[in-house]
Chains A and B, each alone.
Chain A
Amino acid sequence: MLLRTEGVTVRLDRRAAVADVSLAVPAGCLMALIGPNGAGKTTLLRAVAGLAPHAGRITVAGHDLAALTPAARARLMAYLPQRRDVAWGLAARDVVALGRLPHLGAGRRESEEDRAAIAAAMAAADVAALADRPVDRLSGGERARVLLARALAQAAPLLLADEPTAALDPYHQLQVMEVLRAEAEAGRAVVAVLHDLALAARFAHRVALMADGRLAAAGSPEDVLTEDRLAAVYRVAALAGTRDGARWILPWRRL
């Protein structure tokens, strides 16, 4: 297992935002982390990224997270937060290059390997044409893909993405999900927090459903995204079906 969490609990203001979550994500798997607002998805992702103090055990590629130095952790996992702030007007290519920081030596000079990783990441996220554009002049969709390329360039076996499709139009939502799935199938483990059940059902290999900080269900999209469970956890009735061998879901009305 590339990522394993055992009994992870995160307390925020003495409330357990994440309670006793045990998950396993193998290499080659895109796992969608879903659940209603406030279910603890982002908090769990931050705990795995080493950004939230927690109880329980997290291992990445067999290494105990608590024993890793920040630099070693950065070579094992990349984290793509939901906020897409970039403080200065760097060129898109220079933003992507920041993903190579954990691999650079003291002189911070890019090697051939770094340049190849940056080019490959920009090609995968379809931003090669934006290389010289200042990132503060890009559209929301372009910026989201540049930041995705930044995370890909880190070339870590585990990729954590917090709502990577938020505020994107349907075309770019599909594009980002295709990139994440392709990265998983190329051998990474990808954990993506998603709000869109249709995207989770369509693209994820596995789905983990959280409710009130606990893991309500985990498994294949077919097994997890049942009518009863959506009614119980999300309080919605959904339309569902199968098309081209993949499941689709459309939340239809409140219950």
Chain B
Amino acid sequence: MRRAAPLLAILASAVLVAAAASLAVGYVPLPLADLVAGLFGGGPAAPLVQEIRLPRTLLALAVGASLGLAGAALQGLLRNPLAEPGVVGISASAGLGAVIALYFGLAAAWPPALPILGMVGAGVAGVLVLLLAGRAAGVLSLVLAGVAVSSFAVALTALALNLAPNPYALSEMLFWLLGSVRDRSFDDLGYAAPFMILGAALLLTAGRGLDALTLGEETAASLGVRVGALRAQVVAGTALAVGAAVSAAGSIGFVGLVVPHLLRPLCGHRPGRLLLPSALGGAILIAAADVLVRLVPTRTELHLGVVTALVGAPFFLALLASLGRR
């Protein structure tokens, strides 16, 4: 386990710093003493800290961790550095599921319907991508499958919002396309968190199989890995983690692409060892991006996906160009 422990310690510290910054920054200035007292349920700032800042911070961390982890696991499964929930259309399909639950009254009747339909959408997209792109996905087939699944899901989302009985539904399209963690309550977090945790557990325990898969499916099988079960485990874990994350925060792109790519050299390029650091790195990235959108003086608050796409899309193109050269 060379070099794994120091990296995890550094990332964990950075998660704490990002969380503290996310709690401290907001539209209402808050003295540090009030913030700390508020965290423990006392002082004049308690309602603000407990009901606005804290759920926002926790949701940002959980969503970032889910997306970073799912990206690392998908890349390990498909042996392709471009595999990412957003790029391959899993996030957009999760958004479609969530929109159907939310605007057709299902979530109002039974709140867990929201994350569950999000996960169903993500799971369907995951299976589709696996079928379309093949098991050891080439760069081209993966990107094309992603474009197809993604565009279809976005179009169906727009259609669903158009048909929704709520006249204001379509104005929320932006939220589903670009994501945000503002104005979320502990209830929103509570519906999504158990599924994110379950998904993370599935993905984090896939490390051994993903390491073996580095040598191809047949060698992995000869090393005692049940490859079919591994595939099901990663797709299910991704569906749970990403489906629940998107149903709470909309689809936020590129997190699962940028974070594993930056951390991979620090993990000896081993897909199994990359999983936990990618979860921590995703949490840091989204918490930091969420601080940024509150600091940038725009007329209405920027969506998180705007920040991640501004960073991630050029990154994606650079990565694509470098893969093309090889």
Do A and B bind? yes
Nearest B residue (CB) for A100: B223
Does A49 sit at the interface, judged by CB under 8 A? yes
Q: Are A94 and B221 in contact (CB under 8 A)?
A: no
Q: Are A102 and B218 in contact (CB under 8 A)?
A: no
In the complex, chain A residues whose CB is within 8 Å of the CB of B79: 87-88
**Known contacts A70-B225, A90-B270: A83-B216 contact under CB 8 Å:** yes
Q: Are A88 and B270 in contact (CB under 8 A)?
A: yes
Q: Are B269 and A70 in contact (CB under 8 A)?
A: no
30 interchain pairs, CB-CB under 8 A: A49-B218, A49-B221, A49-B222, A50-B221, A69-B224, A70-B221, A71-B224, A73-B224, A74-B223, A75-B224, A78-B222, A79-B219, A86-B215, A87-B79, A87-B214, A87-B271, A88-B79, A88-B264, A88-B269, A90-B269, A91-B269, A95-B214, A98-B212, A101-B212, A101-B224, A102-B223, A104-B208, A108-B207, A108-B272, A154-B223
Contacts A72-B224, A109-B1 aside, 13 further interface pairs with beta carbons under 8 A come to A50-B221, A73-B224, A78-B222, A81-B218, A87-B215, A88-B214, A88-B271, A90-B214, A94-B268, A98-B215, A98-B223, A102-B224, A104-B208
Cα of A50 to Cα of B222 in the assembled complex, Å: 8
State the 10 A-B residue pairs at the shortest beta-carbon distance, nearest first: A74-B224, A79-B222, A87-B79, A71-B224, A88-B269, A70-B224, A102-B224, A89-B269, A87-B214, A101-B223
Chain B residues with a Cβ closer than 8 Å to the other chain, count: 24
Q: Are B216 and A51 in contact (CB under 8 A)?
A: no
Chain A residues with a Cβ closer than 8 Å to the other chain, count: 37
- Footprint of B on A, CB under 8 Å? 46, 49-51, 69-75, 77-81, 83, 85-91, 94-95, 98-99, 101-102, 104, 108-109, 134, 147, 150, 154
- Footprint of A on B, CB under 8 Å? 1, 79, 207-208, 211-216, 218-219, 221-226, 264, 268-272
Cα of A89 to Cα of B219 in the assembled complex, Å: 17
In the complex, chain A residues whose CB is within 8 Å of the CB of B271: 87-88
In the complex, chain B residues whose CB is within 8 Å of the CB of A99: 223
Cα of A99 to Cα of B211 in the assembled complex, Å: 11
Q: Are A46 and B224 in contact (CB under 8 A)?
A: no
In the complex, chain A residues whose CB is within 8 Å of the CB of B207: 108
Q: Are B211 and A101 in contact (CB under 8 A)?
A: yes
Cα of A3 to Cα of B245 in the assembled complex, Å: 51
In the complex, chain B residues whose CB is within 8 Å of the CB of A134: 269
In the complex, chain B residues whose CB is within 8 Å of the CB of A91: 268-269
